[in-house]
Amino acid sequence: MKLTWLGHSAFHCSFAGTDLLIDPFWTGNPTFPEGFEPRLAKVDRILVTHVHGDHLGDTARLAQKYDATVMAQYEVCEYLGARGLSKFEPMNTGGTVAAGGCRVSMVPAFHSSTLVEDGRVVCVGDPVGFVIAGENTSVYHAGDTSVFGDMALIGRMWRPKVGLLPIGDRFTMGPEGAAYVCNELLEFETVVPMHWGTFPMLSGTPEAFAALVRRGRVRTLRPGEAAEL
């Protein structure tokens, strides 16, 4: 599996010829690697963890441009469908859907999922995470979340080898929480920190995180950097 970090919680992920985008917050993301989009030839699926702007991001534009299918919670699909999108794999927590060269499972996250429309805060679905399993590897994108005990259950059921964990603190778990996940709840071979360094309010650093992790290898990527995992 080839994984490219696109800044914040945005990733491009390629499984046996199936190209996925996760939480494509590109426009307005100060850490998005300029020049990535012109090189991107194809997108098969776009996975959305929740509708906060720093995760829903460019989903509508990219889904139309690449004729990609959006995989998200049912309510998020309904919301996007009412705004002109038509290709969806609606899901909910506990469900698994085949997606070309991989299988996508939706798992819970502890956070919120709102956007502001006409000056009002509107809830659209719940926050989720994803476990994406291919032939030889599997990756858990935790979305925005705190630590929660049932992460251990995600570990027992899916045994994800790669973890993508938020470490920025304030809106999600910080370095201490994410390190607890690695040391106590999930046995990752490799963990990639995300949701850090985008905005000054996100105080957690990959150095602080890596210093606390005792189990698994921390692989800190630069925006635009790809890893074969």
Q: Which residues bind Ni ion (CB under 5 A)?
A: 52, 144
Give the range of 26-34, 84-92, 144-152, 183-191 binding Mn ion by CB under 5 A.
144-152
Site residues for Mn ion, 32-71, by CB under 5 A, read 54
Closest distance between Mn ion and the C-beta of residue 214, in Å?
A: 27
Determine which residue in the list 44, 126, 144, 169 makes contact with Mn ion, applying CB under 5 A. 144
Widest CA span in the chain: 47
Of the two residues 89 and 144, which places its CB atom closer to Mn ion in the complex? 144
Q: Cβ contacts of residue 131 below 8 Å, gap of 6+?
A: 104, 105, 107, 138, 139, 140, 141, 154, 158, 160
Instruction: Look at phi and psi of residue 63 and say left if phi exceeds 0, alpha if psi is from -120 to 50, else beta.
Output: alpha
Of the two residues 54 and 126, which places its CB atom closer to Mn ion in the complex? 54
Nearest C-alpha neighbor of 9 from the set 209, 137, 204, 197: 197
Of the two residues 52 and 219, which places its CB atom closer to Mn ion in the complex? 52
Of the two residues 8 and 52, which places its CB atom closer to Ni ion in the complex? 52
Closest distance between Ni ion and the C-beta of residue 170, in Å?
A: 11
Residue bearing tokens 């957690």:
204
Closest distance between Ni ion and the C-beta of residue 211, in Å?
A: 26
Q: Strands 120-123, 18-22: parallel, antiparallel or unpaired by DSSP?
A: unpaired
Give the range of 60-68, 75-83, 142-150, 151-159 binding Mn ion by CB under 5 A.
142-150
3 state DSSP class of 177? helix
Compute the distance between CA of residue 173 and CA of residue 153 in angstroms, rounded to an integer. Answer: 18
Which of the listed partners (Mn ion, Ni ion, none) does 19 bind, with a CB threshold of 5 to 8 Å by partner kind?
none
Identity of the residue numbered 63: A
Q: Which residues lie near Mn ion (CB under 5 A)?
A: 54, 144
